[in-house]
Amino acid sequence: MITELGLIAGALTSFSLFPQLFQILKTRHTKDLSLKAYVILTTGVFLWLIYGLLIKDVVVIIANVVAFVPCCAIVLLKLKHG
């Protein structure tokens, strides 16, 4: 029950980044996005991933691997399309 709750929470928060990524890919518009905010978010997600690896928590690892991909992509697209 607890693991399932963590998986659902992790999935919702991680996959919440994909609509933003898809919107950027569709419009190539990133003017209104804060680069600083996404760099901070990406750094936090990366640190959570490291934490999950250190404590060997599969839920934390999966959620943050899934979140790390769109976070990095959004930062790169923001840098590209400024």
Q: What is the pLDDT of residue 82?
A: 82
Q: What is the pLDDT of residue 75?
A: 98
Quick: pLDDT tens for 28-78: 999 999 999 999 999 999 999 999 999 999 999 999 999 999 999 999 999
CA distances from 18 to 8, 11, 12, 25, 69 (A): 16, 11, 10, 10, 9
Closest CA to 43 of 71, 1, 62, 13: 71
Q: Which two tokens stand for residue 47?
A: 């640190």
- Looking at the chain, the number of H-run helices and the number of E-run strands are 4, 0
* Architecture (CATH level 2) of domain 2-81: Up-down Bundle (1.20)
**pTM, two decimal places:** 0.89
Q: What is the pLDDT of residue 65?
A: 96
What is the C-alpha separation between 82 and 77, in angstroms, rounded?
A: 8
